Structure 1
Amino acid sequence: MHAIRLHAFGPAENLTYEEVPDPVPGPGQVRIAVAAAGVHLLDTALRKGEQGPLPDPTPLPTVPGREVAGTVESLGEGVDGRWLGRPVVVHLGFGPGGYAELVVADIDRVHEIPANLDAAQAVAMIGTGRTVMGILQFARPGPDEDSVLVVPAAAGGIGTLLVQYGKNAGATVIGLAGGPEKVALVAANGADLAVDYTLPDWPAEVRAHLGDRQATHVFDGVGGDTAREAVALLGPDGRHIVFGWAGEGIHDGGPYLVEGLSTEVLRLPMLEMAGGPDPIRTLELRSLTEAAAGRLVPALHRFPLAEAAAAHRALENRGTTGKVVLEP
């Protein structure tokens, strides 16, 4: 099979498209012919040698990627034969291997893909959608509290889904994006106001739109000056929910705190608030269910598997919209 391998930490060019041995499923595992593999911003950090939330440093060489969807084409010992040929999606957790034509996964982590979703959509929901479900545990905005949501990076994978969720809940949604093309996508996604945060007067545009209202929530996956200005739009009981810091301004893994505001930082253990015997799987199921029902529709930015380096560069340079997906 072909896969993307990383032999040395460093720039995106270190990702190489190579022929490698086919993986063999062990007991309780299946082998999946991959139709789509998700690319996460965390992948770019790991590629550079940054450990991030992973418990151990990544051993080299490695095949990056932790989100895949495709068709079960081989079964390990003890796996029910009914899985053979099924379209499935899986988050591999801390284990890499997703940027490949074939992937082995534990059967107890696998989900069957709903009939009305394709592989790329399923990949978006198993990782990015799962995170959105986790974020929304902190705040489920709705019309009863006259919610006003501010979503920085609203053209990204998570931002796209948060805009949709907010509109479905009856909230007013302000979507921030960089540049006119992304702003147009945010507007088309249903935001009440789509604003270009690269323009110096964007907060004034938001205030003019809101009149005497103030923001009730800032869903912050960006950090830096954009998030600081967004937080300044919050009312006295506003909530600042941090789930990433792609920009500058948050250091040492902690948020910048604003006096008088509720600030929550989403971390992996907090995803376990979902409850049940397997909280992470609970969130994955919720995410796939929302997509299957058409309530959440992921935006996708597709690259061929062989162009994984280009996908990483585009993601790091904020040249992507929606969820970045590799397709063999």
Structure 2
Amino acid sequence: MHAIRLHAFGPAENLRYEETADPEPAAGQVRVTVAAAGVHLLDTAIREGIQGPLPELPALPTIPGREVAGTVDALGEGVPAHWLGKRVVAHIGFAPGGYAERAVTEVSRLHELPDDLDFAEAVALIGTGRTTMGILRFTELTADSVVVVPAAAGGIGTLLTQYAKHRGATVIGLAGGPEKTARVRAHGADLAVDYKDPAWPDEVRAYLKERLDGRAATVVFDGVGGDAGRAAVDLLGPGGSHVVFGWSGKGLHDGEALTFTEEELTARGITQVNVLGPAMMAKAGGDNPVRTLELAALAEAATGHFTPAVQRYPLAEAAAAHRALETRGTMGKVVLIP
């Protein structure tokens, strides 16, 4: 099979498109003929040798990638026969192997897909959608909500925008450049502004004054941090909530986390919550909170509330996909197509 292999940690150019042996499923595993493989910002950090949240870095050479969708083509010992030939999606965890024509994973990680769900969209739901559902556990959106999404053209930002509109909220989406702001409007935002324009906060305040009788924002879903995140928080009124799920304003490696002291929060009359990690798992609840959130995301797609934005690259162009993701040159979930 063909796969992307990493022989040395470093720049995107180290991702090499090569032929390698097909993986074989062990007991309790299946092999999937991959139709779409997800690319995550964390993948770029791992490629550079940054351990991040991983228990340890993978041994080299390695095939990156932790999200796959496709068709089951082989079963390991003990796997029920009915899985053979099924359309599935899976987050394969910290074990890599997704950037390939075939990948293996535990049968317990599989979700069977309906025939009308696109493989690339399914990949977006299993990772980006899962995280989005976790973020949404920390606030209750209603028709009275005024939501600001600083990275509204991204995978999570698109889904947050769609969900908030489904709940009847007013959504203000920020994105970089006219092409991205057009995409944000197309996904339902009431106002889309270019955060590269220094005057964007004034544009938002004018909108709030003219269209909403001067109401302030009630929620900021902040995956950016830095200057854009701080300006978004300044739009919150008393009782508002700053929901933090990242700080990629300059990329995963050098973004600035936006924090406030208790005194600052009290003076502003707002709350701040960091939803990542154990906090999100605790909110999801149950014996398997990750799977709970995955199922929730797939359910939102089934009801039409989620339509993931996807940017596709050929598998052989994984290096280009990494470079684009690192330089904020993508819109939606980045997916590799073998």
The range that moved more, 230-239 or 265-274, is 265-274
The equivalent of 1:183 in structure 2 is 181
Same amino acid, percent of matched pairs: 66
The equivalent of 1:116 in structure 2 is 116
Q: TM-score normalised to the size of structure 1?
A: 0.96
Secondary structure in 1 matching 2:325: helix
The equivalent of 2:275 in structure 1 is 266
Which of 185, 197, 216 pairs up with 1:214?
216
Task: Label 1:116 to 1:88 Cα distance change in 2 as closer, same or farther (>3 A).
Answer: same
Letter aligned with residue 73 of structure 2 = E
The equivalent of 2:241 in structure 1 is 239
Whether the 8 Å contact between 1:28 and 1:77 is mirrored in structure 2 is yes
Q: CA deviation at 1:270?
A: 2.3
State how 1:242-321 maps to structure 2 within 5 Å.
242-248=244-250, 255-257=258-260, 259-260=264-265, 261-272=270-281, 273-321=283-331
The equivalent of 1:93 in structure 2 is 93
The range that moved more, 44-53 or 171-180, is 44-53
Matched residues in 2 for 1:228 and 1:96: separation?
35
Q: Can you give the 5+ residue segments of structure 2 that lack an aligned partner in the other structure?
A: none
The range that moved more, 96-105 or 269-278, is 269-278
Letter aligned with residue 233 of structure 1 = L
Q: CA deviation at 1:327?
A: 0.3
Letter aligned with residue 323 of structure 1 = K
Whether the 8 Å contact between 1:64 and 1:98 is mirrored in structure 2 is yes
Matched residues in 1 for 2:333 and 2:255: separation?
26
Q: TM-score normalised to the size of structure 2?
A: 0.94
Whether the 8 Å contact between 1:225 and 1:249 is mirrored in structure 2 is no
Secondary structure in 2 matching 1:282: helix
Does residue 322 (structure 1) correspond to residue 320 (structure 2)? The answer is: no
The equivalent of 1:47 in structure 2 is 47
The equivalent of 1:171 in structure 2 is 169
CA shift digits 1:110-158 (9 cap, x unpaired): 1001232111010000000000000001012112xx2110001100100
Does residue 151 (structure 1) correspond to residue 149 (structure 2)? The answer is: yes
Matched residues in 1 for 2:9 and 2:97: separation?
16
Q: CA deviation at 1:10?
A: 1.1
Letter aligned with residue 238 of structure 2 = P
Letter aligned with residue 227 of structure 1 = G
Matched residues in 1 for 2:162 and 2:156: separation?
10
State how 1:26-41 maps to structure 2 within 5 Å.
26-41=26-41
Letter aligned with residue 165 of structure 1 = Y
Letter aligned with residue 247 of structure 1 = G
Whether the 8 Å contact between 1:178 and 1:198 is mirrored in structure 2 is yes
The range that moved more, 62-71 or 50-59, is 50-59
Whether the 8 Å contact between 2:321 and 2:334 is mirrored in structure 1 is yes
Whether the 8 Å contact between 1:132 and 1:158 is mirrored in structure 2 is yes
CA shift digits 1:160-216 (9 cap, x unpaired): 000000100011000000000000110111100000000010000000001111111
Whether the 8 Å contact between 2:224 and 2:255 is mirrored in structure 1 is no
Whether the 8 Å contact between 1:66 and 1:94 is mirrored in structure 2 is yes
Q: CA deviation at 1:274?
A: 1.2
Q: Can you give the 5+ residue segments of structure 1 that lack an aligned partner in the other structure?
A: none
Aligned residues: 326
Secondary structure in 2 matching 1:166: helix
The range that moved more, 18-27 or 254-263, is 254-263
Secondary structure in 2 matching 1:60: coil
